[in-house]
Amino acid sequence: MGDAGIVTGVAVAVVDGTIRDVGQRAALERAYSGATPIDCGGRVLVPGFVDSHTHAIFGKPRFEEQELRASGLDYMEIARRGGGIHASVRDLRRRDEDELLGLAVPRLRRLAASGVTTVEVKSGYGLTPDDEIKSLRVIRRIGEILPMRLVPTWLGAHEIPLEYRDLANGRSEYVRLLVSTMLPGVASEGLARFADVFCEPGVFTIDETRTILTAAKSAGLGLKLHADELRASGGAELAAEIGATSADHLAAISDAGIRVLAESNTVATLLPGTMMFLGKDRQAPARALVDAGAAVALATDFNPGTSPTTNFPLIMTLGVSQLRLSVAETMIASTVNGAAALSLADHVGQIAPGYSADLALFDAEDVRELPYWYGDRRCVATWVRGRACHTSTVDSL
Ligand SMILES: [Zn+2]
């Protein structure tokens, strides 16, 4: 992760949505004399960012919780007052597909405008078979509307819904619903590429997570976990054990968990925006993970409760300033490793021959400016499969 392979004075040749060639500009202009040129004006061109962890299908934002948190109320108290995840669940269940689509599209356009060309989107605010399928169908429709590359993840195991919490055998009943009803429905419609579970004490236990993800694996889905966010409970170890594509959050991962992830093919996806927004003084041990040899990815965790940002470069700022990654490591975490966290690394996340022409152009002269101008929006254009996805009003484009 220490070498992002930065080169200067080059051009990129794109044929049929795929990068054919990267080389000195004059030579490429001769070799592809019939091509349509786009002058990037000496700016920084990067692989389009891969945001491998979002909860972008939701109804109303939950801005009222920010002040409550600042005044000292904890998550349990906010939930008792009707906030938290269950507020988003109540809200989403009341909305139909068209309404959710209308809300999600502009939010994802904002993400694209920050340089993101591939985005993973989870369900998880439905928590009934119908409402989870509804959310996943919205994700599929977004993929038909926006040029961004969308990766759908089924997160029926985001939380135990309130109507099951009060039942005597509610937990096991809900796990049974997930495995016996929801998963077959999702799989038979081909609505998700991954299954994810919120594995955390008080939400889904290690054993429940193993049950759900083992069934998902049999149904042909890739696996993801929300793991070790608040407490080290063995989530990272479970991710490696069951061959998960990624283990996400990891702010409380143990030393043993770091070692196990480093020896596995599971990507460690870190979400520093969440910890910052919640006002936590702790961040995931990114340095220790990278130094141990783990593949670290960065993502926004875009969601209405704990990380309402669509600004991907801001996450890169946190990667350098809070996680203490180098700029090269941050770039790799935002592109190559983000793609690996979605099993797309063989054709997404690099500016190299054979890779999809997913590109983002920034109004900067040096790649180190991307995390430096923090909170700024300097992405002037993105392309997905060679097709313009987002273009700002910059004249030369
Ligand atoms: Zn999440």
In tens digits, the chain (397 residues) has pLDDT values of 888 999 999 999 999 999 999 999 999 999 999 999 999 999 999 999 999 999 999 999 999 999 999 999 988 788 888 889 999 999 999 999 999 999 999 999 999 999 999 999 999 999 999 999 999 999 999 999 998 999 999 999 999 999 998 898 999 999 999 999 999 999 999 999 999 999 999 899 999 999 999 999 999 999 999 999 989 999 999 999 999 999 999 999 999 999 999 999 999 999 999 999 999 999 999 999 999 999 999 999 999 999 999 999 999 999 999 999 999 999 999 999 999 999 999 999 999 999 999 999 999 999 999 999 999 999 999 999 999 887 764 444 4
Whether the CB-CB separation of 5 and 355 falls below 8 Å is answered with no
Q: Identify the pLDDT of residue 150.
A: 97
Q: How far is the CA of 299 from the centre of ligand 1 (A)?
A: 10
Sign of the CA dihedral with 327 first, then 362, 351, and 299 last: positive
Q: How far is the CA of 267 from the centre of ligand 1 (A)?
A: 15
Spatial CB neighbours of 115, under 8 Å, sequence gap ≥ 6: 46, 48, 49, 312, 313, 360, 362, 379, 382
Q: How far is the CA of 226 from the centre of ligand 1 (A)?
A: 6
Alpha helices in the chain (DSSP H): 25-31, 64-70, 75-80, 85-93, 97-113, 129-145, 162-165, 170-177, 183-188, 206-218, 235-241, 255-262, 272-277, 286-292, 312-321, 327-334, 336-340, 369-372
Whether the CB-CB separation of 14 and 350 falls below 8 Å is answered with no
Q: How far is the CA of 243 from the centre of ligand 1 (A)?
A: 19
Residue 157 belongs to what H/E stretch? strand 149-157
d(CA 92, CA 152): 17
Q: How far is the CA of 54 from the centre of ligand 1 (A)?
A: 6
Q: Taking each helix axis as running N to C, give the angle between helix 327-334 and helix 312-321, from 0 to 180 degrees, rounded to the nearest 10.
A: 140
Q: Taking each helix axis as running N to C, give the angle between helix 170-177 and helix 206-218, from 0 to 180 degrees, rounded to the nearest 10.
A: 20
Residue 117 has a CB neighbour count (10 Å cut-off) of 28
Q: How far is the CA of 385 from the centre of ligand 1 (A)?
A: 27
- Let me know if 340 is exposed, middle or buried by CB neighbors in 10 A (0-12, 13-18, 19+): buried
Q: How far is the CA of 303 from the centre of ligand 1 (A)?
A: 8
Q: Identify the pLDDT of residue 396.
A: 44
Q: How far is the CA of 366 from the centre of ligand 1 (A)?
A: 32
Q: How far is the CA of 291 from the centre of ligand 1 (A)?
A: 25
Q: How far is the CA of 3 from the centre of ligand 1 (A)?
A: 29
Q: How far is the CA of 50 from the centre of ligand 1 (A)?
A: 15
Q: How far is the CA of 304 from the centre of ligand 1 (A)?
A: 11
Q: How far is the CA of 300 from the centre of ligand 1 (A)?
A: 9
Q: How far is the CA of 276 from the centre of ligand 1 (A)?
A: 14
Q: How far apart are the first and last CA of the chain?
A: 32
Question: What is the pTM assigned to this prediction?
Answer: 0.96
Q: How far is the CA of 122 from the centre of ligand 1 (A)?
A: 8
Q: How far is the CA of 7 from the centre of ligand 1 (A)?
A: 34
Q: How far is the CA of 225 from the centre of ligand 1 (A)?
A: 9
Q: How far is the CA of 2 from the centre of ligand 1 (A)?
A: 27
